[in-house]
Amino acid sequence: MKGAAIAAIALVGGGLLAHLLLADPGYVAIRAGRQLFETTLPVFALMLIGLYVLLRSLAAAATSRRRLAELRAERRRRRARADTQRALLDLAAGNWKRSEELLTRSAADAESPVVNYLVAARAADLQDAVARRDDWLAQAQEAGPEERAPALVTLAEMQMRRGQHEAALATLEQLDASGDLNSRGLELMARLSQKLGRGELLVAEADESDGSFLRLSPTIIAVTNLDREHLDHYGSMERIYESFLEFINKVPFYGLAILCLDHPNVQEILPRLDRRLCTYGFSAQADYRARRVERLGKEHAHWPGDGVQSTGIR
């Protein structure tokens, strides 16, 4: 409608211009190589207006097609969200087959296809469809290569549910070997190691970057430093303090927290701890103090106290 109105105005304007210039319309000559194009000035003006209207119409048509494609994509995303929500309810209600179908059907348009495939794998496992389960887990890793840990931890949980403890431990050891083992994986590995008689102790580096270390239930904790980092998750230094306090205070009464007293932020939280602890470092107030220091290696890192530089102590 808007394009037609512009065209009509252009034609009327062109007619008026032709009427005004009728006595002496003038002419336009354009040469391109050996070709010569000649016309009157009013006709040339009308041609320019027509060209402008044509270009505007083509641009509007392209915009309309793009907008139509965006609307269709948004409609598919809304349908995928609705299907995913319905699938989760079906899973909880025991309608595992329908849940699996809805999740996999909507995965391509879902906001997080990895989630759809992981939940579909659980639905397939509950139906004893192990081949389909493994296929959905593989597609989850393909859809999100950075989400390898959730896929393998999910597999380990399902293997444990089936009593396949050796297989579950082997799955988690894959993550451990690559450095991708998350807090949930550490928890499962500890349970499996104890169940299989592989030892009652598990030494692990907890990851505080996303707060997942709070899922662990440690007996002994060693805190070497407490830096102002991962603020995209915590938002403030006070929240970092609170998370570390919660983590350390999870130690049972028979456990122990080992803290580096040289770090000022570690010193900051000491008065707020209510667990058995011991400290170490170069500080004279530390329970265990390094006094005789040797340089080991060619590259030297700075150690606080007495200006000593060393990569290690003996």
Q: What are 264-276's pLDDT values in tens digits?
A: 999 988 888 888 8
Which pLDDT does position 98 carry in this prediction? 93
| Mean of pLDDT over the chain | 81
Please give the torsion angle defined by the CA atoms of residues 250, 253, 257 and 261, in that order, rounded to the nearest 10 degrees: 110
Residue 217 amino acid letter: S
The more confidently predicted of residues 82 and 67 is 82
Domain limits for position 284: 206-314
Examine residue 45 and state whether it is found in any structural domain, yes or no. Answer: no
Q: Is residue 225 predicted with pLDDT exceeding 90?
A: no
Q: Is the overall model pTM greater than 0.85, yes or no?
A: no
Residue 243, domain CATH: 3.40.1190.10
Is 268 contained in some domain? yes
Kindly report, residue by residue over 231-250, the tens digit of the pLDDT: 888 889 899 889 999 999 88
pLDDT at residue 309, rounded to an integer: 39
**Is residue 271 assigned to a domain?**
yes
Q: Which of 242, 248, 173 is nearest to 218 (CA)?
A: 248
Residue 76: pLDDT above 50? yes
State residue 312's pLDDT score: 46
Determine, yes or no, domain membership for 212. yes
What's the average model confidence in pLDDT over 256-285?
89
pLDDT value at residue 15: 59
Residue 276 located in a structural domain:
yes
Q: Quick one: pLDDT at residue 95?
A: 93
Can you give the pLDDT at residue 117? 93
In a domain, residue 289? The reply is yes
Amino acid 298: pLDDT: 54
**Higher pLDDT residue, 281 or 21?**
281
State the average pLDDT over residues 275-296.
Answer: 84
Cα-only R_g, the chain: 35
Report pLDDT digits (tens) over 296-314.
Answer: 655 544 555 444 433 444 4
Residue 103 domain flag: no
pLDDT value at residue 307 = 44
Give the up-direction half-sphere exposure of residue 55: CA atoms within 13 A in the CB hemisphere: 6
Strand order in the sheet with 288-289: 220-223, 256-260, 277-281, 288-289
What total number of domains does the chain contain?
1
- pLDDT over threshold 70, residue 97: yes
Give the pLDDT score at 55.
Answer: 83
Report d(CA 197, CA 213) in Å as an integer: 25
Q: Check pLDDT > 80 for residue 13.
A: no
Q: What is the pLDDT of residue 136?
A: 93
Specify if 49 maps to a domain: no
Cα three-residue angle 97-100-104, rounded to 5 degrees: 145
Using 50, 70 and 90 to split pLDDT, how confident is the model at 60?
confident
pLDDT, one tens digit per residue, over 162-213 is: 899 999 988 888 887 777 777 788 778 878 877 787 766 777 777 788 887 8
pLDDT at 44 exceeding the cut of 80? no
Residue 132: alpha-carbon gap to chain centroid: 26
Do the strands 27-32 and 35-40 form a parallel or antiparallel pair, or are they unpaired?
antiparallel
